[in-house]
Amino acid sequence: MKIAVVGATGLVGSLMLKVLEERGFANEEILVAASEKSIGKKIKFSNRELIVQSVEQVINQQCDYAIFSAGGAASKKYAPLFAEKGTIVIDNSSAWRMQENIPLVVPEINANAIKNEDKIISNPNCSTIQMVLALSLLHKTYQIKRIVVSTYQSVTGTGVKAVNQLDCEKENKACEKAYPYQIFENILPHGGDFLENGYTTEEEKLVNETRKIFNDNSIAITATVARVPVKGGHSEAVNVEFVKPFEIEDVYKLLESTKGVVVLDNPTKNIYPMPLNAKDKDEVFVGRVRRDTSIANGLNLWIVADNLRKGAATNAIQILEYLTRK
Protein backbone atom coordinates (compact mmCIF):
# COMPACT_ATOMS: atom_id res chain seq x y z
CA MET A 1 0.00 0.00 0.00
CA LYS A 2 1.05 3.56 -0.67
CA ILE A 3 -0.19 6.05 1.95
CA ALA A 4 0.36 9.81 1.91
CA VAL A 5 0.19 11.98 5.03
CA VAL A 6 -0.46 15.60 4.08
CA GLY A 7 0.43 18.09 6.81
CA ALA A 8 2.90 15.59 8.26
CA THR A 9 4.93 18.14 10.25
CA GLY A 10 2.02 19.53 12.31
CA LEU A 11 0.83 18.32 15.74
CA VAL A 12 -1.83 16.02 14.30
CA GLY A 13 0.13 15.03 11.18
CA SER A 14 3.14 13.87 13.17
CA LEU A 15 0.84 11.92 15.49
CA MET A 16 -0.84 10.30 12.47
CA LEU A 17 2.55 8.90 11.52
CA LYS A 18 3.04 7.57 15.04
CA VAL A 19 -0.41 5.92 15.02
CA LEU A 20 0.23 4.41 11.57
CA GLU A 21 3.37 2.84 13.00
CA GLU A 22 1.58 1.60 16.13
CA ARG A 23 -1.37 0.09 14.27
CA GLY A 24 0.42 -2.11 11.76
CA PHE A 25 1.22 0.20 8.83
CA ALA A 26 4.96 0.50 9.53
CA ASN A 27 5.96 -1.55 6.50
CA GLU A 28 3.74 0.21 3.99
CA GLU A 29 5.11 2.84 1.61
CA ILE A 30 4.56 6.17 3.38
CA LEU A 31 4.87 9.53 1.64
CA VAL A 32 4.89 12.76 3.64
CA ALA A 33 3.91 16.21 2.39
CA ALA A 34 3.79 19.60 4.05
CA SER A 35 3.98 23.30 3.32
CA GLU A 36 6.83 24.86 1.35
CA LYS A 37 8.91 25.74 4.42
CA SER A 38 9.11 22.05 5.42
CA ILE A 39 10.03 20.55 2.04
CA GLY A 40 13.26 18.55 2.26
CA LYS A 41 13.03 17.98 6.01
CA LYS A 42 13.56 14.43 7.27
CA ILE A 43 11.02 12.68 9.48
CA LYS A 44 11.75 9.47 11.40
CA PHE A 45 9.21 6.74 10.75
CA SER A 46 9.63 3.18 12.01
CA ASN A 47 13.18 2.17 11.04
CA ARG A 48 13.66 4.73 8.26
CA GLU A 49 13.65 8.41 7.37
CA LEU A 50 10.99 10.02 5.21
CA ILE A 51 11.73 13.17 3.22
CA VAL A 52 9.02 15.81 3.17
CA GLN A 53 7.77 16.56 -0.35
CA SER A 54 5.40 19.14 -1.76
CA VAL A 55 1.74 18.16 -2.04
CA GLU A 56 1.98 18.55 -5.82
CA GLN A 57 4.83 16.01 -5.95
CA VAL A 58 2.87 13.47 -3.93
CA ILE A 59 -0.39 13.79 -5.91
CA ASN A 60 1.15 12.22 -8.99
CA GLN A 61 2.61 9.18 -7.19
CA GLN A 62 -0.62 7.13 -7.37
CA CYS A 63 -1.26 6.75 -3.64
CA ASP A 64 -3.93 4.34 -2.44
CA TYR A 65 -4.83 6.62 0.47
CA ALA A 66 -4.07 10.19 1.53
CA ILE A 67 -4.64 11.30 5.11
CA PHE A 68 -4.96 15.07 5.44
CA SER A 69 -4.29 17.30 8.42
CA ALA A 70 -3.21 20.48 6.69
CA GLY A 71 -6.16 22.81 7.31
CA GLY A 72 -9.36 23.50 5.43
CA ALA A 73 -7.88 25.59 2.61
CA ALA A 74 -5.34 22.89 1.68
CA SER A 75 -8.02 20.20 1.86
CA LYS A 76 -10.36 22.12 -0.43
CA LYS A 77 -7.56 22.67 -2.93
CA TYR A 78 -5.83 19.31 -2.94
CA ALA A 79 -8.27 16.59 -1.81
CA PRO A 80 -10.22 16.66 -5.12
CA LEU A 81 -6.92 16.42 -7.05
CA PHE A 82 -5.97 13.27 -5.12
CA ALA A 83 -9.48 11.89 -5.64
CA GLU A 84 -9.20 12.46 -9.40
CA LYS A 85 -6.12 10.19 -9.37
CA GLY A 86 -8.13 7.43 -7.65
CA THR A 87 -6.70 8.09 -4.18
CA ILE A 88 -9.11 7.79 -1.24
CA VAL A 89 -8.76 10.86 0.98
CA ILE A 90 -9.39 10.84 4.75
CA ASP A 91 -9.61 14.49 5.72
CA ASN A 92 -9.22 15.88 9.24
CA SER A 93 -10.27 19.47 8.48
CA SER A 94 -13.78 20.96 8.57
CA ALA A 95 -13.71 21.52 4.79
CA TRP A 96 -15.94 18.61 3.76
CA ARG A 97 -17.76 17.57 6.93
CA MET A 98 -21.15 19.06 6.20
CA GLN A 99 -21.26 18.31 2.48
CA GLU A 100 -24.20 16.01 1.88
CA ASN A 101 -22.34 13.53 -0.34
CA ILE A 102 -19.28 13.23 1.96
CA PRO A 103 -19.49 10.68 4.82
CA LEU A 104 -18.59 11.99 8.29
CA VAL A 105 -17.32 8.96 10.15
CA VAL A 106 -16.61 7.66 13.63
CA PRO A 107 -15.88 4.01 12.73
CA GLU A 108 -17.43 2.50 15.87
CA ILE A 109 -20.71 4.28 15.05
CA ASN A 110 -21.23 4.72 11.32
CA ALA A 111 -18.47 3.16 9.21
CA ASN A 112 -21.26 1.77 7.02
CA ALA A 113 -21.90 5.34 5.81
CA ILE A 114 -18.84 4.88 3.56
CA LYS A 115 -19.84 3.75 0.09
CA ASN A 116 -17.55 2.04 -2.44
CA GLU A 117 -17.56 5.09 -4.69
CA ASP A 118 -16.57 7.58 -1.93
CA LYS A 119 -13.20 9.20 -2.60
CA ILE A 120 -13.27 11.79 0.22
CA ILE A 121 -14.17 10.80 3.79
CA SER A 122 -14.35 13.32 6.62
CA ASN A 123 -12.99 12.99 10.14
CA PRO A 124 -15.29 14.82 12.61
CA ASN A 125 -14.21 17.55 15.00
CA CYS A 126 -12.35 16.26 18.06
CA SER A 127 -14.94 17.42 20.59
CA THR A 128 -17.74 15.87 18.52
CA ILE A 129 -15.99 12.48 18.25
CA GLN A 130 -15.66 11.92 21.99
CA MET A 131 -19.22 13.04 22.73
CA VAL A 132 -20.97 10.98 20.06
CA LEU A 133 -18.94 7.86 20.83
CA ALA A 134 -19.92 8.03 24.51
CA LEU A 135 -23.57 8.67 23.62
CA SER A 136 -23.89 6.27 20.67
CA LEU A 137 -25.44 3.21 22.39
CA LEU A 138 -27.47 5.42 24.73
CA HIS A 139 -28.97 7.17 21.71
CA LYS A 140 -29.72 3.87 20.02
CA THR A 141 -31.47 2.62 23.18
CA TYR A 142 -33.24 5.69 24.60
CA GLN A 143 -33.28 8.19 21.68
CA ILE A 144 -31.72 11.57 22.46
CA LYS A 145 -34.13 14.49 22.51
CA ARG A 146 -31.75 17.28 23.58
CA ILE A 147 -28.06 17.79 24.43
CA VAL A 148 -26.55 20.69 26.37
CA VAL A 149 -22.75 20.50 26.20
CA SER A 150 -20.02 22.69 27.66
CA THR A 151 -16.46 21.89 26.60
CA TYR A 152 -13.13 22.58 28.29
CA GLN A 153 -10.74 22.27 25.37
CA SER A 154 -6.98 21.75 25.42
CA VAL A 155 -4.62 24.26 23.80
CA THR A 156 -3.34 21.39 21.66
CA GLY A 157 -6.58 21.68 19.69
CA THR A 158 -5.42 25.08 18.45
CA GLY A 159 -1.96 23.88 17.42
CA VAL A 160 1.75 24.33 18.08
CA LYS A 161 1.50 28.11 18.36
CA ALA A 162 -1.01 27.81 21.23
CA VAL A 163 1.10 25.22 23.06
CA ASN A 164 4.09 27.56 22.74
CA GLN A 165 2.01 30.44 24.07
CA LEU A 166 1.03 28.47 27.17
CA ASP A 167 4.64 27.37 27.79
CA CYS A 168 6.00 30.91 27.33
CA GLU A 169 3.40 32.43 29.66
CA LYS A 170 4.17 29.83 32.33
CA GLU A 171 7.79 30.99 32.22
CA ASN A 172 6.84 34.66 31.92
CA LYS A 173 8.48 34.96 28.50
CA ALA A 174 7.33 37.02 25.55
CA CYS A 175 6.12 35.03 22.55
CA GLU A 176 3.79 35.06 19.58
CA LYS A 177 0.18 34.62 20.68
CA ALA A 178 -2.37 32.19 19.26
CA TYR A 179 -5.15 33.67 21.44
CA PRO A 180 -6.31 37.27 21.95
CA TYR A 181 -5.57 36.96 25.69
CA GLN A 182 -3.29 35.12 28.09
CA ILE A 183 -4.20 31.43 28.37
CA PHE A 184 -1.97 30.54 31.36
CA GLU A 185 -4.09 30.63 34.56
CA ASN A 186 -7.04 31.73 32.44
CA ILE A 187 -10.06 30.34 30.58
CA LEU A 188 -11.28 31.76 27.29
CA PRO A 189 -15.00 31.26 26.45
CA HIS A 190 -13.98 31.29 22.82
CA GLY A 191 -13.18 28.40 20.48
CA GLY A 192 -13.05 29.02 16.76
CA ASP A 193 -14.49 32.17 15.17
CA PHE A 194 -17.56 34.06 16.33
CA LEU A 195 -20.63 33.90 14.09
CA GLU A 196 -23.40 36.46 13.65
CA ASN A 197 -25.67 34.54 16.02
CA GLY A 198 -23.16 34.88 18.88
CA TYR A 199 -22.06 31.25 18.76
CA THR A 200 -18.63 30.12 17.53
CA THR A 201 -17.65 27.80 14.71
CA GLU A 202 -16.51 25.19 17.29
CA GLU A 203 -19.93 25.30 18.93
CA GLU A 204 -21.68 25.04 15.57
CA LYS A 205 -19.62 21.94 14.70
CA LEU A 206 -20.84 20.14 17.82
CA VAL A 207 -24.43 20.77 16.75
CA ASN A 208 -24.26 19.98 13.05
CA GLU A 209 -21.78 17.11 13.13
CA THR A 210 -23.61 15.27 15.92
CA ARG A 211 -26.84 15.33 13.93
CA LYS A 212 -25.08 14.12 10.79
CA ILE A 213 -23.22 11.25 12.49
CA PHE A 214 -26.39 10.07 14.26
CA ASN A 215 -28.41 10.71 11.08
CA ASP A 216 -31.00 12.49 13.21
CA ASN A 217 -31.83 16.16 12.64
CA SER A 218 -34.49 16.11 15.34
CA ILE A 219 -31.89 16.26 18.15
CA ALA A 220 -31.88 19.68 19.82
CA ILE A 221 -28.31 20.67 20.72
CA THR A 222 -26.75 23.74 22.28
CA ALA A 223 -23.04 24.14 23.02
CA THR A 224 -20.58 26.41 24.82
CA VAL A 225 -16.88 25.99 24.08
CA ALA A 226 -14.10 27.16 26.40
CA ARG A 227 -10.33 26.95 25.93
CA VAL A 228 -8.41 25.95 29.08
CA PRO A 229 -4.66 25.92 29.92
CA VAL A 230 -4.38 22.14 29.56
CA LYS A 231 -2.39 19.94 27.15
CA GLY A 232 -3.74 16.46 27.84
CA GLY A 233 -7.14 16.48 26.17
CA HIS A 234 -10.64 17.89 25.91
CA SER A 235 -13.23 17.59 28.70
CA GLU A 236 -16.98 17.95 28.29
CA ALA A 237 -19.90 18.39 30.69
CA VAL A 238 -22.79 16.81 28.79
CA ASN A 239 -26.44 17.00 29.81
CA VAL A 240 -28.75 14.72 27.82
CA GLU A 241 -32.52 14.49 27.74
CA PHE A 242 -33.84 11.21 26.32
CA VAL A 243 -37.23 10.40 24.83
CA LYS A 244 -37.43 7.09 26.73
CA PRO A 245 -36.96 6.48 30.46
CA PHE A 246 -33.82 4.71 31.71
CA GLU A 247 -32.30 3.11 34.76
CA ILE A 248 -28.83 4.29 35.83
CA GLU A 249 -27.64 0.68 36.12
CA ASP A 250 -28.53 0.11 32.47
CA VAL A 251 -26.77 3.33 31.44
CA TYR A 252 -23.56 2.03 33.02
CA LYS A 253 -23.93 -1.31 31.23
CA LEU A 254 -24.41 0.42 27.87
CA LEU A 255 -21.41 2.72 28.43
CA GLU A 256 -19.24 -0.24 29.46
CA SER A 257 -20.25 -2.16 26.34
CA THR A 258 -19.56 0.77 23.98
CA LYS A 259 -16.42 -0.04 22.00
CA GLY A 260 -13.69 2.54 22.67
CA VAL A 261 -15.29 3.86 25.89
CA VAL A 262 -13.84 3.39 29.39
CA VAL A 263 -16.00 4.16 32.43
CA LEU A 264 -14.08 5.80 35.29
CA ASP A 265 -16.71 6.55 37.91
CA ASN A 266 -16.34 6.00 41.63
CA PRO A 267 -17.00 9.27 43.49
CA THR A 268 -16.31 7.70 46.92
CA LYS A 269 -12.71 7.14 45.81
CA ASN A 270 -12.46 10.37 43.77
CA ILE A 271 -12.30 8.39 40.53
CA TYR A 272 -13.43 10.33 37.46
CA PRO A 273 -11.94 11.14 34.04
CA MET A 274 -9.34 13.88 33.70
CA PRO A 275 -7.05 15.02 30.87
CA LEU A 276 -4.19 13.44 32.84
CA ASN A 277 -5.90 10.03 32.38
CA ALA A 278 -6.64 10.59 28.72
CA LYS A 279 -3.29 11.92 27.49
CA ASP A 280 -1.71 9.62 24.84
CA LYS A 281 -4.67 7.22 25.05
CA ASP A 282 -7.11 6.22 22.31
CA GLU A 283 -10.11 5.60 24.55
CA VAL A 284 -12.90 7.99 25.48
CA PHE A 285 -13.31 8.18 29.27
CA VAL A 286 -16.71 8.72 30.91
CA GLY A 287 -17.60 9.44 34.53
CA ARG A 288 -19.74 11.55 36.90
CA VAL A 289 -22.73 9.64 35.50
CA ARG A 290 -25.87 10.75 37.32
CA ARG A 291 -29.53 11.38 36.75
CA ASP A 292 -30.62 14.96 36.10
CA THR A 293 -33.52 15.22 38.53
CA SER A 294 -34.67 18.59 37.14
CA ILE A 295 -36.25 17.00 34.04
CA ALA A 296 -37.76 13.69 32.98
CA ASN A 297 -35.28 11.26 31.40
CA GLY A 298 -32.30 13.57 32.04
CA LEU A 299 -28.69 12.41 32.43
CA ASN A 300 -25.38 14.12 33.19
CA LEU A 301 -21.99 12.80 32.06
CA TRP A 302 -18.40 14.01 32.11
CA ILE A 303 -16.50 12.93 28.97
CA VAL A 304 -12.73 13.25 28.44
CA ALA A 305 -10.46 12.20 25.56
CA ASP A 306 -7.08 13.04 24.05
CA ASN A 307 -8.17 15.38 21.26
CA LEU A 308 -5.07 14.68 19.17
CA ARG A 309 -5.47 10.89 19.33
CA LYS A 310 -9.07 9.62 19.23
CA GLY A 311 -10.17 13.17 18.47
CA ALA A 312 -8.06 13.33 15.29
CA ALA A 313 -5.18 11.00 14.37
CA THR A 314 -6.48 7.70 15.72
CA ASN A 315 -9.99 8.15 14.35
CA ALA A 316 -8.50 8.84 10.89
CA ILE A 317 -6.31 5.71 11.05
CA GLN A 318 -9.30 3.66 12.25
CA ILE A 319 -11.14 4.81 9.10
CA LEU A 320 -8.10 3.65 7.10
CA GLU A 321 -8.19 0.29 8.90
CA TYR A 322 -11.87 -0.11 8.04
CA LEU A 323 -11.22 0.72 4.38
CA THR A 324 -8.31 -1.72 4.09
CA ARG A 325 -10.34 -4.52 5.70
CA LYS A 326 -13.26 -3.70 3.42
Catalytic residues: 126, 234
Using an 8 Å Cβ cutoff, are 313 and 18 in contact? yes
Contact 115, 103 (CB under 8 A): yes
What are the distances in angstroms from CA 173 to CA 113, 177, 187? 48, 11, 19
| Helix (H/G/I), strand (E/B), else coil: 290 | strand
Rg of the chain taking only CA atoms, in angstroms: 20
Instruction: Classify strands 2-6 and 29-33 as parallel, antiparallel or unpaired.
Output: parallel
- Which ranges constitute the DSSP H helices of the chain? 11-22, 55-59, 72-84, 107-110, 126-142, 160-170, 201-214, 248-256, 275-278, 314-325
Q: What phi and psi, each to the nearest 5 degrees, are found at residue 89?
A: -100, 130
Strands 298-305 and 234-242: antiparallel
